[in-house]
Amino acid sequence: MSREYETVIGLEVHVELATKTKIFCGCKTDFGGAPNTHTCPICTGMPGALPILNKKVVEYAMAVGIATNCEITKYSKFDRKNYFYPDNPQNYQISQLYLPICRNGKVEIEVGGVKKEIGIHEIHMEEDAGKLVHDEWEDVSIVDYNRSGVPLIEIVSEPDMRSADEVIAYLEKLRQTIQYLGASDCKLNEGSMRADVNISVRKIGQKEFGTRTEMKNLNSFKAISHAIEGETERQIELLEMNREVIQETRRWDDNKESSKSMRSKEDAKDYRYFPDPDLPPICIPDEWIQKVKDNQPELREEKLERYKKDYDISEYDASLITESKHLADLFEETTAICNKPKRVVNFILGELLRLLKEKEMDDSDISFSPENFAKLIELVDSGVVNSTVSKQVFGEIFENNVDPEVYIKENNLMVVNDDGELEKVIEEVISANPKSVEDYKAGKKKAIGFLVGQTMKAMQGKANPGKVNQILTEKLQ
Amino acid sequence: MSIKNKTAVEISKMIKDRQISAVEVLEQTIQQIKEKDEKVKGFITVDEDEARKQAQIIQKGIEKGELTGPLAGVPIAIKDNIDTKGIKTTCASKILYNFVPTFDATAVKNLKEAGAIIVGKTNMDEFAMGSTSETSAFATTRNPWDLTKVPGGSSGGTCAVVASGQVSCGLGSDTGGSIRQPSSYCGVTGIKPTYGTVSRYGLIAYGSSLDQIGPVARNVADCATILETISSYDRFDSTSMKRDKYDFTSALDKDVKGMRIGIPKEYLEKGIDDEVKEAVLKAAQIMKDKGAKVEEFSLDLVDYAIPAYYIIACAEASSNLARFDGVKYGYRSKEYEGLHEMYKKSRSEGFGDEVKRRIMLGSFVLSSGYYDAYYLKALKVKRLIKEAYDKAFEKYDLILGPVAPTTAPTIGESLKDPLKMYLSDIYTISVNLAGLPAISLPCALDKNKMPIGVQFIANCFEENKMIAAGQTLEKELAENFVLDFSLV
């Protein structure tokens, strides 16, 4: 990027709320399910049906607003956004334009050790649309209304971000906060968190914003990063050629790693927003806000402090483990059973993160039980298995949630504590490696490491390395 | 035993007293419909088979003593914009020509639970948009008092089938006068309840913030009885209101002694027929004779009610009617290319002119750049009208006035000039804007023997006052003025 320019970025983030039922009816929000099975007259827009607001949606929206330092609008309203498309059975979406539930918030992000505040313009509640499926074989389009009426919140930031890194940090922060609240699982790849990115560039020092474009269809952090970089470059190139940036909506193509214009401002639809007459205003008394505040679960910052204090783990480890609610939950549940917080932390930050990365999995995909994990920790702690074997067993727990006790027994992985057998093997190792023995005796104390390794290998990893070291040292005196 | 000229309450009593069975009542009703509706054309759908089935079940319920209410076994007509499970509900529109709801409107559910029998669905102005029932896609309903006249609208079908004695009672809906005005034209009684009293769940919306379902019958007692049955707090309608009491029939024994009644003098000034004005003054005199204090007062903002109403109702309608697009149910154009054309042709062919006019008007007033100037301003007018009424009700228990400036016009006259038709709602519309209840009941006949109605308007939740006044007026009139309900 040219040094003369800076990128100005604002985000519209849609988050699907984790309510059991839809925003305006009692239908389930579960994923999957045969098409149009989680539907009723309300969420399919049948004539005469009316919406009834799900209170839990308001509470989740308030909880997110409180956690992001927003003001809660005490007199909030739903508006209709009118547009024709078959995925929307009423041909209007119930959303909030004039009086959104939360306004004027902010979150703190950290990029490269520098802290920064990102303003939140507003958070509003709305309903999701159904899903259109184009059957090219039959040349028809069919629609599934299972998602119609699933509750969403849209979090609109101020144009406070200046780089892709800040955007990712902001999104991570939102995701972490919302996951901690239990308001959503925030999975980008499954669409329970979606971000539209507004981008403009301007000369450094310039006060006015440049003309912005809106980027849609961003399904991963990687796509978001690349789209921001690409769009920044495109806009700078235009300006350098003395051409204008056109205000438009662009669609990101993940395969081509480039974006294409969807519609310009001139084609922008007039949504004819107006207050929905079927839904009375939402009046939120102070007591309700207080109740939501009181019920707010422990957020990351509090958790981090508690971990340092209660479990005596380092600031660094605590910060890593609380980065994700899933990891923090796993840590707490496992520690509650085995009471070995440090060992649990080491396993999570070491082996677990390695496996997640290797298998390209999200920590929300972790499916093994804390019980089996805790059992393994105890088996390691009591010396039944050594650390080498424990990694292998953990891999099995991670993949198949095996009971480590059973697995270790079946595969005969216990540490051999029979000194006789161990001494026999050690003597064989000593006689097979005279060079190393000589080196050791000549004062190269490090040579013993090789001999320990050879012994462990011969024991198929099932020996206690401490013990091996001790016997070897005695024998080489 | 004949049910001719009997009211709903009388019919159910006859059934309870074993003078007649619910099955016989229904057969006589079907007979009446067959004889009269060819001329009146008040019904769009008559579901004889289902009604017969229901009559048998209800007769058993009555015999077992399970159904004891005052509507048990009474056949009732339902306006065709109110959902009836398994019975076609068209809103008198081509776009819903084949639509069969999968659920009952809450008002219908309440009626069924009380043992009333749905005999059919009545004609109306398409999507309740009109004041004559002529905008129906299927038929022009005739006024039973003079078949060359309109029955009024939009609940013209319900009022005409009640006036012609086909059924004793029915349900209408009132967005700007759609129950009261046709009641006045047809010489029957109708109530528009306080907004939120009868659930709108299952009422196919026209102007959601103004729509209310209400009863139409031959007298005040039936209307009060039906209102008591259909009104309920309904969690399926978020605009439904929890009221302390749903008792409307106890007011039938009350009188008007000491009541303060105001007549807006603007209502009697311009554009009103002399005979209609005389009817209002006659009603005022009767109220005075019965011990009420009656005086004229000034109700401002009358002139702004019609434009505000058309802006608000059409804005809501333009969005409410968006769902009728040919995708999910109802009419879809036969030939089209692509989605956009399917929408365009289905809606162009499916909606009539008046509906299109109002969708366009509503879309316009909500467009960016016009929203503040029209829609928001109309909402302000609405609030000012409510305040003007609040002020009036500090002084008066009831407001008395005409229902429509004239008696029923000749068929074909009104459609030529929609603006003139809109003006016929001038006395009824502000009641909807303010969410108030009102009752319309016949008071006189004009020189052509066409009925003239008057209305009592009450403050929110004070239906009982207007029911007491209506009952008093009706009793006084009965002595020298009997309506003939078997005209056709």
The number of residues in chain A equals 477
The percent of residues in chain B predicted with pLDDT above 90, rounded, is 92
Q: Are B16 and B71 in contact (CB under 8 A)?
A: no
Contacts with B416 (C-beta within 8 Å, 6 or more apart), sequence order: none
Beta strand B75-79 with B117-122 is parallel
Looking at beta carbons, which residues of chain A come within 8 Å of B239? 277-278, 280
- Closest of B356, B317, B313 to residue B137, by C-alpha: B356
Question: Which residue out of B121, B312, B325, B332 would a mutagenesis test of the A interface target, given it has the greatest number of A Cβ atoms within 10 Å?
Answer: B325
Specify if A464 maps to a domain: yes
Helix (H/G/I), strand (E/B), else coil: B460? coil
pLDDT in the model for residue A425 = 86
* Residue with the two structure tokens 């879809």: B332
pLDDT band at B57 (very low <50, low <70, confident <90, very high): very high
Q: Are A125 and A106 in contact (CB under 8 A)?
A: no
pLDDT in the model for residue A112 = 92
Positive or negative, the Cα torsion across A396, A398, A400, A402? positive
pLDDT band at B482 (very low <50, low <70, confident <90, very high): low
> Is pLDDT above 60 for B479?
no
Q: Which of A380, A410, A440 is the last residue of a domain?
A: A410
pLDDT in the model for residue A3 = 67
- Closest of A165, A229, A152 to residue A192, by C-alpha: A152
Q: Using CB atoms, which residue from A41, A141, A278 is nearest to B208?
A: A278
Average pLDDT over residues A262-280: 87
Q: Using CB atoms, which residue from A89, A141, A279 is nearest to B323?
A: A89
Q: Using CB atoms, which residue from A47, A82, A141 is nearest to B99?
A: A47
- Same domain, yes or no: A325 and A261: no
> Is pLDDT above 80 for B143?
yes
> Is pLDDT above 70 for A228?
yes
Q: Using CB atoms, which residue from B101, B235, B367 is nearest to A272?
A: B367
Average pLDDT over residues B150-163: 97
Contacts with A87 (C-beta within 8 Å, 6 or more apart), sequence order: A129, A130, A131, A132, A143, A148
Contact of B375 with chain A, judged by CB distance below 8 Å, is answered with yes
* B102·A273 Cβ contact <8 A: no
Residue A133 β-bridge partners: A142
pLDDT band at A2 (very low <50, low <70, confident <90, very high): low
* B200·A82 Cβ contact <8 A: no
* Residue with the two structure tokens 């929110």: B460
Q: Are B263 and B295 in contact (CB under 8 A)?
A: yes
Q: Which of A361, A380, A410 is the last residue of a domain?
A: A410
Q: What is the largest CA-CA distance in chain A?
A: 95
- Same domain, yes or no: A121 and A191: yes
Could you report the per-residue pLDDT of A310-334, keeping only the tens digit for each?
998 999 999 999 988 899 999 999 9
3-state SS, B195-245, equals CCCCCCCCECCCCCCCCEEEEEECCHHHHHHHHHHHCCCCCCCCCCCCCCC
Looking at beta carbons, which residues of chain A come within 8 Å of B238? 50-53, 278-280
CATH superfamily placement of domain B1-488 = Amidase signature (AS) domain (3.90.1300.10)
* Residue with the two structure tokens 């008002």: B107
Could you report the per-residue pLDDT of A3-52, keeping only the tens digit for each?
689 999 999 999 999 999 999 999 999 988 899 999 999 999 999 999 99
Contact of B91 with chain A, judged by CB distance below 8 Å, is answered with yes
- CA distances to A180, A300, A351, B474 from A324, rounded to whole Å, are 8, 9, 16, 74
* B239·A51 Cβ contact <8 A: no
Could you report the per-residue pLDDT of B199-253, keeping only the tens digit for each?
999 999 999 999 999 999 999 999 999 999 999 999 999 999 999 999 999 999 9
- Same domain, yes or no: A181 and A59: yes
Q: DSSP assignment of A232-301, as one string?
A: HHHHHHHHHTT-PPPPEEEEEETTTTEEEEEEEGGG------EE-TTS--EE--HHHHHHHHHHPPP-HH
φ/ψ of B323, rounded to 5, equals: -70, -15
Average pLDDT over residues B142-150: 95
Q: Are A186 and A15 in contact (CB under 8 A)?
A: yes
- Same domain, yes or no: A354 and A438: no
Looking at beta carbons, which residues of chain A come within 8 Å of B371? 272-274
Average pLDDT over residues B409-423: 84
Chain B: nearest CA to A146, how far in angstroms?
15
Range of the domain at A443: 419-475
Task: Say how far apart CA B427 and CA B430 lie, in whole Å.
Answer: 7
Q: Using CB atoms, which residue from B102, B315, B322 is nearest to A92?
A: B322
Chain B: nearest CA to A143, how far in angstroms?
10
- Closest of A172, A164, A177 to residue A8, by C-alpha: A164
Task: Say how far apart CA B48 and CA A424 lie, in whole Å.
Answer: 100
- Same domain, yes or no: A403 and A441: no
- CA distances to B184, B306, B435, B454 from B459, rounded to whole Å, are 21, 20, 9, 17
Lowest model confidence (mean pLDDT) among A72-86, A132-146, B179-193, B474-488: B474-488
φ/ψ of A29, rounded to 5, equals: -100, 5
Could you report the per-residue pLDDT of A401-449, keeping only the tens digit for each?
999 989 988 888 877 767 778 888 888 888 888 888 888 888 888 888 8
Ordered by start, the domain boundaries in chain B are 1-488
pLDDT in the model for residue B6 = 93
Q: Which amino acid is residue B393, in one-letter code?
A: F
Average pLDDT over residues A328-352: 93
- Same domain, yes or no: A100 and A243: yes
Q: Are B210 and B195 in contact (CB under 8 A)?
A: yes
> Is pLDDT above 90 for A250?
yes
Looking at beta carbons, which residues of chain A come within 8 Å of B328? 44-45, 89
* A86·B96 Cβ contact <8 A: no
- Closest of B428, B354, B331 to residue B127, by C-alpha: B354
Chain A: nearest CA to B30, how far in angstroms?
28
The percent of residues in chain A predicted with pLDDT above 70, rounded, is 98
Structural tokens at position B380: 């302000």
pLDDT band at A464 (very low <50, low <70, confident <90, very high): confident
Q: Are A95 and A78 in contact (CB under 8 A)?
A: yes
- Same domain, yes or no: A231 and A328: no
DSSP state of B146: B
Count: domains in chain A: 3
* B239·A278 Cβ contact <8 A: yes
Contacts with B178 (C-beta within 8 Å, 6 or more apart), sequence order: B124, B125, B128, B131, B153, B154, B155, B172
Q: Which CATH number does the domain housing residue A425 bear?
A: 1.10.10.410
Structural tokens at position A61: 């929206």
pLDDT in the model for residue A388 = 81
* A92·B319 Cβ contact <8 A: yes
Higher pLDDT, B488 or A121: A121
> Is pLDDT above 90 for A293?
yes
The residues of A whose Cβ lies within 8 A of any Cβ of B are: 41, 44-53, 80, 82, 84, 86, 89-92, 141, 143, 270, 272-274, 277-280
pLDDT in the model for residue B149 = 96
- Same domain, yes or no: A240 and A319: no
Q: Are A252 and A194 in contact (CB under 8 A)?
A: no
Residue of chain A minimizing CA distance to B326: A86
pLDDT in the model for residue B481 = 55
Task: Say how far apart CA A396 and CA B94 lie, in whole Å.
Answer: 65
Task: Say how far apart CA A99 and CA A104 lie, in whole Å.
Answer: 13
Start-to-end C-alpha separation, chain A? 65
Task: Say how far apart CA B35 and CA B57 lie, in whole Å.
Answer: 26
- Same domain, yes or no: A173 and A306: no
Higher pLDDT, A387 or B321: B321
Specify if A117 maps to a domain: yes
> Is pLDDT above 60 for B397?
yes
* B323·A86 Cβ contact <8 A: no
Task: Say how far apart CA B233 and CA B249 lie, in whole Å.
Answer: 18
- Same domain, yes or no: A196 and A80: yes
Would you name the residues of B annotated as active-site residues? 79, 154, 178
- Closest of A179, A204, A205, A207 to residue A192, by C-alpha: A179
Residue B173 β-bridge partners: B213
- Same domain, yes or no: A44 and A138: yes
Q: Are A32 and A218 in contact (CB under 8 A)?
A: no
Positive or negative, the Cα torsion across B321, B322, B327, B332? positive
B15-40 residues labelled b (16+ CB within 10 A) or e (exposed): bbeeebbbbbbbbbbbebbeebbeeb
pLDDT band at B487 (very low <50, low <70, confident <90, very high): low
Chain B: nearest CA to A6, how far in angstroms?
33
Chain A: nearest CA to B233, how far in angstroms?
14
Q: At what angle do helices A325-338 and A164-181 cross, to 10 degrees?
A: 50
Residue A249 β-bridge partners: A214, A263
Lowest model confidence (mean pLDDT) among A78-87, A92-101, A452-461, B472-481: B472-481
Cis amide leading into B12 (omega within 30) = no
Q: Are B428 and B438 in contact (CB under 8 A)?
A: yes
Residue of chain B minimizing CA distance to A52: B238
Specify if A293 maps to a domain: no
Could you report the per-residue pLDDT of A191-209, keeping only the tens digit for each?
899 999 999 999 999 999 9
* A48·B91 Cβ contact <8 A: no
Q: Which amino acid is residue B94, in one-letter code?
A: K
Structural tokens at position B162: 């009640």
* A52·B238 Cβ contact <8 A: yes
* B328·A84 Cβ contact <8 A: no
In whole angstroms, how large is the CA radius of gyration of chain B?
21
Chain B: nearest CA to A129, how far in angstroms?
14
Task: Say how far apart CA A41 and CA A29 lie, in whole Å.
Answer: 15
Average pLDDT over residues A278-289: 97
Average pLDDT over residues B323-336: 96
> Is pLDDT above 90 for B303?
no
Structural tokens at position B209: 């913030």
Average pLDDT over residues A219-223: 90
pLDDT in the model for residue A363 = 84
Question: Which residue out of A46, A92, A266 would a mutagenesis test of the B interface target, given it has the greatest number of B Cβ atoms within 10 Å?
Answer: A46
Q: Using CB atoms, which residue from B91, B99, B208 is nearest to A277?
A: B208
Task: Say how far apart CA A465 and CA A390 lie, in whole Å.
Answer: 13
* B201·A50 Cβ contact <8 A: yes
- Closest of B236, B211, B249, B262 to residue B401, by C-alpha: B262
Q: Which of A257, A288, A319 is the last residue of a domain?
A: A288
Tell me how many degrees the CA angle A426-A432-A437 measures, rounded to the nearest 5. 75
pLDDT band at B172 (very low <50, low <70, confident <90, very high): very high
- Same domain, yes or no: A352 and A460: no
> Is pLDDT above 70 for A1?
no
> Is pLDDT above 80 for A261?
yes
Task: Say how far apart CA B163 and CA A216 lie, in whole Å.
Answer: 60
Contact of B209 with chain A, judged by CB distance below 8 Å, is answered with yes
Contact of B201 with chain A, judged by CB distance below 8 Å, is answered with yes
Looking at beta carbons, which residues of chain B come within 8 Å of A279? 238
